[in-house]
Amino acid sequence: MEEAGEGPLCPQGLNPIQLNHLPPMRMSHLGGKGDHLDPLVDDLRDLKFDPPEFEGNLNPKNFLEWMQSIERFFEIKEYSDEKAFKVAILKLKKYASLWYENIKRQRIRDGKSRIKTWSKLKRLMIKRFLPDNYKRDLYLKVSNLSQRRSNIEEYIREFEQLQIRSGLEEEPEQTMARFLKDLDPGIAEKVDLQPYWSLEDLCQLAIKVEKYSKGKKEFGGSFGKPTAPYKPFTPKSPR
């Protein structure tokens, strides 16, 4: 029997007023002995946002950025290979849409099976929108990269981007050796005198050395060239 002044008890003996002060919860097993409250699951699959569109731009960088973005969308939504394919073809616009329709007709004429998965569509898109010489050009850029007139942070960013895009696989020591080789000689010489164990260590050291070198130049520039030594004034003796 309920006591006067109290409302009906919720699961775990909480009345409605107490329940209002709790974080969002989900009730399960209601009406049974094991009534309890579970925290709501933060499910990103319910997140509302649209995957990006692709218009068939022949710039390899734009194509790769689109492919990475839409695959991130598929990952968050936990789409199957088949469902990801259906979403992807809806996001093909202009020339990319025309290309896909032509591929469908050509496969029918050749007696080939229909494309039903994102994996298959992705392979065909890479073949069409990523030039054969793309990897080779990236390797050449990796080999010919140098700091030149760029500051150290710009150099680091370009170095890492080329490393990632090319998919170059090498020992960490080789990567560090390339990084040092392409640095400004004045900075590389000072960096190589310090202890380091990774590319991240090298990057931080190079940034510190550049800032220190710039600080010295600015400090020296503010005072100009050193003046002649100070000579005390001595009055001339009367003739």
Alpha-carbon separation of residue 159 from 149, 176, 234 (angstroms)? 14, 11, 63
| Per-residue model confidence as pLDDT tens digits over 152-180 | 898 888 888 888 877 777 888 988 998 98
How high is the pLDDT of residue 20?
Answer: 52
pLDDT bin (cut points 50, 70, 90) of residue 26 is very low
Of 14-23, 108-117, 170-179, where does mean pLDDT reach its minimum?
Answer: 14-23
Judge if pTM exceeds 0.75.
no
The DSSP bridge partners found for residue 36 are 28
Any residues with CB less than 8 A from the CB of 130 and at least 6 apart, and which?
Answer: 60, 63, 64
Nearest to 67 by CA among 165, 208, 199, 162: 165
How high is the pLDDT of residue 213?
Answer: 80
| Per-residue model confidence as pLDDT tens digits over 47-60 | 677 889 999 988 88
Which is more confident, 95 or 215? Answer: 95
Whether the predicted pLDDT of 142 surpasses 90? no
